[in-house]
Amino acid sequence: MKQHRSVAIDGPSGAGKSTLAKRLAEALGYLYVDTGAIYRTVGLQAFRTGADPSDPAAVIPLLQDIQIRLAYGEDGLQHMYLNGEDVTAEIRRHEISAYASGVSAIPEVRAFLLEQQRGLAEEHDVVMDGRDIGTVVLPDADVKIFLTAAPEARARRRWLELKERGQETAFETVLHDVLERDERDTSRAAAPLRQAEDAVLADTTEKDLEQSLELLMHIVKEHLQA
Ligand code: DC
Protein backbone atom coordinates (compact mmCIF):
# COMPACT_ATOMS: atom_id res chain seq x y z
CA MET A 1 0.00 0.00 0.00
CA LYS A 2 1.14 3.50 -0.83
CA GLN A 3 2.31 5.22 2.34
CA HIS A 4 3.82 8.41 1.07
CA ARG A 5 2.49 11.41 -0.76
CA SER A 6 3.87 12.39 -4.11
CA VAL A 7 3.63 15.40 -6.37
CA ALA A 8 4.81 14.85 -9.94
CA ILE A 9 5.87 17.86 -11.97
CA ASP A 10 6.71 17.41 -15.64
CA GLY A 11 7.36 19.83 -18.44
CA PRO A 12 9.92 21.16 -20.89
CA SER A 13 13.20 22.76 -19.83
CA GLY A 14 13.06 26.33 -18.58
CA ALA A 15 9.43 26.27 -17.48
CA GLY A 16 10.63 26.88 -13.93
CA LYS A 17 10.23 23.28 -12.80
CA SER A 18 13.26 22.96 -10.56
CA THR A 19 12.90 26.32 -8.79
CA LEU A 20 9.18 25.87 -8.29
CA ALA A 21 9.37 22.21 -7.33
CA LYS A 22 12.04 23.01 -4.75
CA ARG A 23 9.98 25.85 -3.25
CA LEU A 24 6.86 23.69 -3.27
CA ALA A 25 8.69 20.86 -1.50
CA GLU A 26 9.91 23.29 1.17
CA ALA A 27 6.40 24.62 1.72
CA LEU A 28 4.96 21.09 2.01
CA GLY A 29 7.87 19.65 4.02
CA TYR A 30 8.49 17.04 1.29
CA LEU A 31 11.74 15.87 -0.25
CA TYR A 32 12.56 17.52 -3.57
CA VAL A 33 13.86 15.10 -6.20
CA ASP A 34 15.33 16.60 -9.36
CA THR A 35 15.39 13.67 -11.81
CA GLY A 36 16.99 15.75 -14.58
CA ALA A 37 20.11 15.84 -12.39
CA ILE A 38 20.24 12.03 -12.51
CA TYR A 39 20.15 12.02 -16.33
CA ARG A 40 22.73 14.81 -16.33
CA THR A 41 25.04 12.62 -14.24
CA VAL A 42 24.86 9.84 -16.85
CA GLY A 43 25.38 12.52 -19.53
CA LEU A 44 28.47 13.73 -17.71
CA GLN A 45 29.94 10.24 -17.76
CA ALA A 46 29.35 10.06 -21.53
CA PHE A 47 30.99 13.46 -21.93
CA ARG A 48 34.01 12.49 -19.86
CA THR A 49 34.57 9.20 -21.61
CA GLY A 50 34.08 10.68 -25.07
CA ALA A 51 31.04 8.49 -25.77
CA ASP A 52 28.57 9.70 -28.41
CA PRO A 53 25.45 10.32 -26.26
CA SER A 54 23.11 9.41 -29.11
CA ASP A 55 24.76 6.02 -29.68
CA PRO A 56 23.25 3.31 -27.47
CA ALA A 57 26.18 0.99 -28.23
CA ALA A 58 28.55 3.57 -26.75
CA VAL A 59 26.38 4.59 -23.77
CA ILE A 60 24.92 1.29 -22.51
CA PRO A 61 28.30 -0.24 -21.55
CA LEU A 62 29.00 2.83 -19.39
CA LEU A 63 26.11 1.88 -17.08
CA GLN A 64 28.06 -1.10 -15.75
CA ASP A 65 30.73 1.15 -14.34
CA ILE A 66 28.72 3.93 -12.82
CA GLN A 67 27.28 4.32 -9.42
CA ILE A 68 24.93 7.26 -9.05
CA ARG A 69 23.95 8.47 -5.64
CA LEU A 70 21.71 11.26 -4.47
CA ALA A 71 22.32 12.81 -1.08
CA TYR A 72 20.99 15.83 0.71
CA GLY A 73 23.54 18.22 2.17
CA GLU A 74 23.10 20.23 5.34
CA ASP A 75 22.09 23.05 3.01
CA GLY A 76 19.06 20.89 2.16
CA LEU A 77 20.20 20.77 -1.45
CA GLN A 78 20.28 17.67 -3.59
CA HIS A 79 23.86 16.64 -4.35
CA MET A 80 24.73 14.19 -7.10
CA TYR A 81 27.58 11.74 -6.76
CA LEU A 82 29.15 9.91 -9.67
CA ASN A 83 31.26 7.02 -8.42
CA GLY A 84 31.69 8.84 -5.14
CA GLU A 85 32.62 12.22 -6.64
CA ASP A 86 30.36 15.21 -5.99
CA VAL A 87 29.41 16.39 -9.50
CA THR A 88 26.55 18.69 -8.43
CA ALA A 89 28.07 21.80 -10.03
CA GLU A 90 29.59 20.13 -13.06
CA ILE A 91 26.36 18.58 -14.35
CA ARG A 92 24.90 22.11 -14.70
CA ARG A 93 27.34 23.10 -17.39
CA HIS A 94 25.70 24.09 -20.64
CA GLU A 95 27.52 21.37 -22.69
CA ILE A 96 26.13 18.67 -20.43
CA SER A 97 22.49 19.51 -21.30
CA ALA A 98 22.79 18.03 -24.80
CA TYR A 99 24.56 14.95 -23.40
CA ALA A 100 21.79 14.47 -20.83
CA SER A 101 19.13 14.83 -23.49
CA GLY A 102 20.96 12.32 -25.72
CA VAL A 103 21.41 9.60 -23.12
CA SER A 104 17.86 10.09 -21.81
CA ALA A 105 16.47 8.89 -25.17
CA ILE A 106 18.02 5.44 -24.64
CA PRO A 107 15.48 2.98 -23.09
CA GLU A 108 18.22 1.05 -21.22
CA VAL A 109 19.33 4.27 -19.51
CA ARG A 110 15.76 5.04 -18.44
CA ALA A 111 15.25 1.50 -17.13
CA PHE A 112 18.54 1.71 -15.23
CA LEU A 113 17.39 4.88 -13.43
CA LEU A 114 13.74 3.98 -12.87
CA GLU A 115 14.01 1.96 -9.67
CA GLN A 116 16.18 4.57 -7.99
CA GLN A 117 13.52 7.21 -8.64
CA ARG A 118 10.64 5.00 -7.50
CA GLY A 119 12.59 3.98 -4.41
CA LEU A 120 12.86 7.59 -3.29
CA ALA A 121 9.09 8.03 -3.57
CA GLU A 122 8.51 4.83 -1.61
CA GLU A 123 10.62 6.10 1.26
CA HIS A 124 9.66 9.76 1.38
CA ASP A 125 6.92 12.25 0.65
CA VAL A 126 8.27 13.77 -2.55
CA VAL A 127 7.92 16.54 -5.04
CA MET A 128 9.62 14.98 -8.06
CA ASP A 129 10.27 16.84 -11.27
CA GLY A 130 11.26 15.55 -14.70
CA ARG A 131 9.71 14.65 -18.04
CA ASP A 132 7.96 11.33 -17.39
CA ILE A 133 7.22 11.39 -13.67
CA GLY A 134 3.41 11.52 -14.00
CA THR A 135 3.34 9.19 -17.02
CA VAL A 136 5.94 6.51 -16.18
CA VAL A 137 7.83 6.88 -12.90
CA LEU A 138 4.92 7.66 -10.55
CA PRO A 139 1.69 6.94 -12.44
CA ASP A 140 -0.15 6.90 -9.09
CA ALA A 141 1.15 10.27 -7.88
CA ASP A 142 -1.34 12.17 -5.69
CA VAL A 143 -0.93 15.32 -7.76
CA LYS A 144 0.34 15.66 -11.32
CA ILE A 145 1.24 19.01 -12.80
CA PHE A 146 2.38 19.72 -16.35
CA LEU A 147 4.32 22.94 -16.12
CA THR A 148 5.03 24.86 -19.28
CA ALA A 149 5.69 28.30 -20.78
CA ALA A 150 6.29 29.74 -24.27
CA PRO A 151 9.75 28.79 -25.70
CA GLU A 152 10.98 32.44 -25.72
CA ALA A 153 10.09 32.87 -22.06
CA ARG A 154 11.85 29.62 -21.16
CA ALA A 155 14.95 30.53 -23.19
CA ARG A 156 15.13 33.92 -21.52
CA ARG A 157 15.03 32.34 -18.06
CA ARG A 158 17.71 29.81 -19.01
CA TRP A 159 19.87 32.59 -20.47
CA LEU A 160 19.62 34.61 -17.24
CA GLU A 161 20.40 31.53 -15.15
CA LEU A 162 23.55 30.80 -17.19
CA LYS A 163 24.59 34.45 -16.99
CA GLU A 164 24.25 34.40 -13.21
CA ARG A 165 26.53 31.36 -13.18
CA GLY A 166 29.11 33.28 -15.23
CA GLN A 167 28.40 31.41 -18.48
CA GLU A 168 27.82 34.19 -21.03
CA THR A 169 25.91 32.74 -23.98
CA ALA A 170 24.08 34.46 -26.85
CA PHE A 171 20.30 34.48 -26.35
CA GLU A 172 19.78 33.06 -29.86
CA THR A 173 21.99 30.10 -28.99
CA VAL A 174 19.98 29.38 -25.85
CA LEU A 175 16.65 29.69 -27.74
CA HIS A 176 17.95 27.40 -30.46
CA ASP A 177 19.05 24.85 -27.84
CA VAL A 178 15.69 25.05 -26.03
CA LEU A 179 13.78 24.38 -29.27
CA GLU A 180 16.11 21.58 -30.27
CA ARG A 181 15.86 19.94 -26.86
CA ASP A 182 12.04 20.27 -26.87
CA GLU A 183 11.99 18.51 -30.21
CA ARG A 184 14.27 15.71 -28.99
CA ASP A 185 12.46 15.26 -25.67
CA THR A 186 8.98 15.17 -27.22
CA SER A 187 9.73 13.10 -30.30
CA ARG A 188 11.83 10.34 -28.76
CA ALA A 189 10.31 6.87 -28.67
CA ALA A 190 11.22 6.12 -25.03
CA ALA A 191 9.02 7.94 -22.50
CA PRO A 192 8.57 11.11 -24.55
CA LEU A 193 7.68 14.34 -22.79
CA ARG A 194 3.89 14.58 -22.76
CA GLN A 195 1.17 15.65 -20.40
CA ALA A 196 -0.38 12.79 -18.42
CA GLU A 197 -4.13 12.57 -18.95
CA ASP A 198 -4.78 13.30 -15.31
CA ALA A 199 -2.23 16.11 -15.01
CA VAL A 200 -3.20 19.73 -14.43
CA LEU A 201 -1.72 22.16 -16.97
CA ALA A 202 0.07 25.16 -15.47
CA ASP A 203 1.37 27.83 -17.90
CA THR A 204 3.87 30.27 -16.41
CA THR A 205 4.57 32.43 -19.51
CA GLU A 206 2.92 35.50 -18.00
CA LYS A 207 3.70 34.69 -14.38
CA ASP A 208 6.64 35.58 -12.20
CA LEU A 209 8.05 33.15 -9.68
CA GLU A 210 5.74 34.07 -6.80
CA GLN A 211 2.63 33.98 -8.98
CA SER A 212 3.66 30.61 -10.39
CA LEU A 213 4.27 29.22 -6.90
CA GLU A 214 0.85 30.47 -5.79
CA LEU A 215 -0.75 28.67 -8.74
CA LEU A 216 1.06 25.42 -7.93
CA MET A 217 0.19 25.61 -4.22
CA HIS A 218 -3.43 26.10 -5.18
CA ILE A 219 -3.39 23.04 -7.47
CA VAL A 220 -1.63 20.89 -4.86
CA LYS A 221 -3.94 21.86 -2.00
CA GLU A 222 -7.00 21.17 -4.10
CA HIS A 223 -5.75 17.69 -5.07
CA LEU A 224 -4.28 16.61 -1.75
CA GLN A 225 -7.56 17.33 -0.04
CA ALA A 226 -9.60 15.52 -2.66
O1 DC B 1 15.53 19.01 -16.41
P2 DC B 1 16.94 18.96 -17.00
O3 DC B 1 17.18 19.98 -18.07
O4 DC B 1 18.00 19.00 -15.96
O5 DC B 1 17.02 17.52 -17.71
C6 DC B 1 18.14 17.10 -18.45
C7 DC B 1 17.71 16.15 -19.56
O8 DC B 1 17.27 14.92 -19.00
C9 DC B 1 16.59 16.66 -20.47
O10 DC B 1 17.02 16.78 -21.80
C11 DC B 1 15.50 15.63 -20.41
C12 DC B 1 16.06 14.49 -19.62
N13 DC B 1 15.13 14.03 -18.58
C14 DC B 1 14.33 12.95 -18.88
O15 DC B 1 14.37 12.45 -20.00
N16 DC B 1 13.50 12.46 -17.93
C17 DC B 1 13.42 13.01 -16.71
N18 DC B 1 12.59 12.49 -15.81
C19 DC B 1 14.23 14.13 -16.40
C20 DC B 1 15.07 14.62 -17.37
Q: Domains in the chain, please, with CATH?
A: 6-224 (3.40.50.300)
Q: What is the C-alpha separation between 192 and 175, in angstroms, rounded?
A: 21
- Single-letter amino acid, residue 42: V
Q: What is the C-alpha separation between 172 and 159, in angstroms, rounded?
A: 9
The per-residue pLDDT for range 122-156, each reduced to its tens digit, is 999 999 999 999 999 999 999 999 999 999 999 99
Nearest CA owner, ligand 1 atom 10:
101
Q: How far is the CA of 168 from the centre of ligand 1 (A)?
A: 22
Which residue from 182, 171, 169, 175 is spatially nearest to 131, judged by alpha carbons?
182
Q: 177: Cβ below 6 Å to ligand 1?
A: no
- Indicate yes or no: pTM above 0.85: yes
> Residue 40 CA: which ligand 1 atom is closest?
6
Q: How far is the CA of 136 from the centre of ligand 1 (A)?
A: 14
Over residues 96-110, the mean pLDDT reads 94
Q: How far is the CA of 11 from the centre of ligand 1 (A)?
A: 9
> Residue 193 CA: which ligand 1 atom is closest?
15
> Residue 129 CA: which ligand 1 atom is closest?
18
**Strand segments (E) across 63-156:** 68-72, 78-82, 85-86, 126-130, 143-148
Q: Which residue has the higher pLDDT, 72 or 42?
A: 42
CB atoms within 10 A of CB 36: 19
